[in-house]
Amino acid sequence: MATELNRQEAGSRRQLLRTGIAAATAGTWTHCMAAADHETFSFVIVSDTHLGRNDDPAAEEQLRQGIAEINAGPGDFVLHLGDIVDKARAEHYPRYVAARAELKKPIHEIPGNHDNTELFLRHVTGRIDRSFDHDGVRFVLFGNAHEDSHDGFLAAEQVEWITGECSQAAALGLKIVFCCHVPVHANRHPDRGWYVKPDDGQTAFYDLVEKHSDRVLLCLHGHFHNGIRGWQDHHQVVEVLCPSLCYNQDRNLEEHLRAGRASGFFVPELRTGYTIATLGNGRLTLQYKPLGSQVDAEYSVEWK
Ligand SMILES: [Fe+2]
């Protein structure tokens, strides 16, 4: 069946990095993106805007510049993957909402560990765990950040809700993209070590990914401020950390990957910016769009 993952067909997956590093990853996708094949679309991923950081107006200026560039560029909609404000400071939520009013595309936000749940719900959006469908793909958004820890979680009721979302997606023939602030994927030193630990929901999440391995395409996160960094070692799902619009840090990931001290992929670009994702025709491309500059680095994975 063309829409099923066929593990018997040999190594046809081609992984491209125009600029970047990819470690070998397990598994081969075959026709697994068929539901989205006829509908290639793009969307924008913004994360970690940290409005109010260091009482510096720069973060808000970066957000407004980003919005202007997003308005002028590709993308059907925008995802904001959390840490909208810095240190949960209330006065910056109305400032975010005022800047957001300039965006001419739909936007879907989730909170990060710097966000306050009550303020987020009051100012940003009335519901955190939610989903929407776009061109054959169900986007499942959920809050998984503690306000007092860098590690993430999935509560039992969230697992139950996500299970229902996956079942619905399967019944409707939709692929699935997950969005949450804190990565689920383990990332010990020399990475940051911030993730959803096994007993806090990681095991349950990967059980779900395995059950729906023919349709889970992507898991998108913010949180790390390390540019585009990720893995593809749980079935076909590409787990990605997206860059911060506020600041990114050089943590020598390129060197650590080369030396085998870390696994996965990294696009060596650390300017403030956002990601333009394109999905369909058996390919995912994540373009790193630095503020004020053209795209010149990307991660791309293709399945045939
Ligand atoms: Fe964060």
pLDDT (tens digit, 9 = 90+) per residue, 106-140? 999 999 999 999 999 999 999 999 999 999 999 99
Q: Could you list the residue range(s) of the whole structural domain that residue 95 is in?
A: 16-302
Please give the C-alpha separations between residue 97 and each of 20, 86, 92, 250, in angstroms, as whole numbers: 35, 15, 9, 30
In a domain, 3, yes or no: no
- Mean pLDDT across the chain: 89
Residue 65 tokens, joined: 């510049």
Going from the Cα of 225 to the center of ligand 1, the distance in angstroms, rounded, reads: 8
Q: How far is the CA of 81 from the centre of ligand 1 (A)?
A: 9
Distance 130 CA to ligand 1 centre (A): 20
> Lowest-confidence range among 43-47, 117-121, 181-185, 300-304?
300-304
Please state whether 281 falls in left (phi above 0), alpha (psi between -120 and 50) or beta. Answer: left
**For position 177, what pLDDT does the model report?**
98
Q: Which residues of 129-159 are buried (b: 16+ CB within 10 A; e: fewer)?
A: bbbeebbbbbbbbbbbbeeeeebbbbeeebb
| For range 40-64, the mean pLDDT | 97
Distance 2 CA to ligand 1 centre (A): 39
Ligand 1 ion: residues within 5 Å (CB): 83, 112-113, 223
7: in domain: no
pLDDT in tens, 83-96: 999 999 999 999 99
Distance 230 CA to ligand 1 centre (A): 16
Q: Is the residue at 82 inside a domain?
A: yes
What is the CA(63)–ligand 1 centre distance, in A? 17
3-state SS of the chain: helix, strand, coil percent to 5?
Answer: 25, 25, 50
CA of 182 to the centre of ligand 1 (A): 7
Residue 154 CA, ligand 1 centroid: distance in Å = 16
Residue 6: inside a domain: no
State both tokens at 300. 């791309």
Asked whether residue 56 carries a pLDDT value surpassing 50, the answer given is yes
| Torsion 66-293-43-112 (CA) sign | negative
Lowest mean pLDDT among 32-41, 157-166, 195-204: 32-41
Question: Is residue 56, in this structure, part of any structural domain at all?
Answer: yes
Ligand 1 mean position, distance from CA 181 (Å): 7
pLDDT the model gives residue 38: 54
pLDDT digits (tens, 9 = 90+) for 243-283: 999 999 999 999 999 999 999 999 999 999 999 999 998 89
Q: Is the dihedral of CA 55, 61, 62, 66 positive or negative?
A: positive
Q: What is the pTM of this model?
A: 0.90
At residue 188, the pLDDT reads 92
In sequence order, what are the beta bridge partners of 280?
Answer: 283
- The alpha carbon of 87 and the centre of ligand 1 are apart by a number of angstroms equal to 10
Tokens of 220: 């998108």
Q: How many domains does the chain have?
A: 1
Q: How far is the CA of 114 from the centre of ligand 1 (A)?
A: 6
- pLDDT band at 242; cut points 50, 70, 90: very high
- Alpha-carbon span 237 to 221, nearest angstrom: 13
Q: Could you tell me the CATH number of the domain that includes residue 65? A: 3.60.21.10
Distance CA 271, CA 297 (A): 11
